[in-house]
Amino acid sequence: MAGEDRQPFPGAGENVDGLRRRRRIFWAVAGAALVLAAGAFFFFDEIAAGLRFLGRVQQQKEKFRNWIGSFGSWAPLVFIGLQVFQVVFSPIPGELTGFLGGYVFGVWPSVVYSTIGLSAGSWACFFIGRWLGRPFVERLMSRAVLDKFDFLVMGRGALLAFVFFSIPGFPKDYMCYLLGLSPLRTGTFLIVATLGRVPGTLMLSLQGANLYEERYGLLVGIFAGALVLGLFFAYFGESIRIWLRKKAERGSP
């Protein structure tokens, strides 16, 4: 009938929607590939060094596990202590210890042990910052880092702190000292620091466990996802920090 809207043939709308979905998938995959290629180009030396390290670890993996196992029932406590040590003193990259936890203990034990150690280390930094005060924190942190994150002490800001703990690339260990100067309650801080670190801990444990089990496809997939996230936050991290700083300044008395 005249005036009626008719499709040129049945199912035309579904075909158009399907084509659009396929285009979106194509461009999403192409964009991810481009980001990975850019990451591989800019971080080629770091990736090559990491692959050489993983190769050496794989050659000695049974010796390495046996060495950890030589501590017997104390092995988890030794690993937890290592995690506490690396948070408080930061001589060892946290990414390395989290990865090795998955490699030695498997995914979920590593997540549990790492979470206990990271939470205890975070609390120790928070306590030291609160106990020794601002003069100590100012000597510990560089002026550039202090100027960037000093707004975290303006108020309670638990949500802001949680966001920073969740984002890769921000100096979480230094933030624990700095948050000791804030009005944040100890219990609230522990919840924020613990939950905020869990996603990164899980990803590192998965990588370590998959390397030991020689599931290289999953390892590459998880690593690629971590690389994309890392590049994303490396690009937008400063904008996120500035936006959160503005929110903190508006909410401060």
By the 8 A CB rule, do 206 and 222 touch? yes
The reported pLDDT for the residue numbered 218 is 87
Q: Is 50 exposed, middle or buried (0-12, 13-18, 19+ CB in 10 A)?
A: middle
Please state which of the ranges 42-56, 134-148, 224-238 shows the lowest mean pLDDT.
42-56
Give the total number of structural domains in the chain.
1
* Residues 113-127 as b or e (16 or more Cβ within 10 Å = b): bbbbbbbbbbbbbbe
By the 8 A CB rule, do 171 and 145 touch? yes
Q: Which residue has the higher pLDDT, 163 or 176?
A: 176
- Provide the whole-model pTM: 0.73
Is residue 21 a part of any domain in this protein?
Answer: no
Mean pLDDT of 136-152: 85
pLDDT at 21 over 70: no
The reported pLDDT for the residue numbered 240 is 83
Q: Which residue has the higher pLDDT, 22 or 103?
A: 103
Is residue 40 a part of any domain in this protein?
Answer: no
By the 8 A CB rule, do 104 and 110 touch? yes
Find the domain containing 152 and state its range: 71-251
The reported pLDDT for the residue numbered 227 is 77
Which of 45-54, 92-101, 121-130, 212-221 is most confident? 121-130
The reported pLDDT for the residue numbered 16 is 59
Instruction: Work out the end-to-end distance of the chain between its first and last CA atoms, rounded to an integer number of angstroms.
Output: 68
Is residue 34 a part of any domain in this protein?
Answer: no
Mean pLDDT of 168-195: 89
Mean pLDDT of 86-104: 81
By the 8 A CB rule, do 186 and 126 touch? yes
Closest listed residue to residue 86, CA positions, set 99, 75, 73: 99
pLDDT at 191 over 90: yes
Two tokens, residue 89: 């003193």
Mean pLDDT of 40-68: 65
Is residue 53 a part of any domain in this protein?
Answer: no
Mean pLDDT of 219-243: 82
Is residue 19 a part of any domain in this protein?
Answer: no
Is residue 207 a part of any domain in this protein?
Answer: yes
The reported pLDDT for the residue numbered 177 is 92
Mean pLDDT taken over the chain: 79
The reported pLDDT for the residue numbered 39 is 62
Q: Measured between alpha carbons, how far is 236 from 231 in angstroms, rounded to an integer?
A: 9
The reported pLDDT for the residue numbered 4 is 47
pLDDT at 36 over 70: no
Is residue 204 a part of any domain in this protein?
Answer: yes
Q: Measured between alpha carbons, how far is 28 from 31 in angstroms, rounded to an integer?
A: 5
Is residue 116 a part of any domain in this protein?
Answer: yes
Please state which of the ranges 7-16, 88-97, 132-141, 200-209 shows the lowest mean pLDDT.
7-16
Q: Measured between alpha carbons, how far is 176 from 194 in angstroms, rounded to an integer?
A: 12
pLDDT at 68 over 80: no
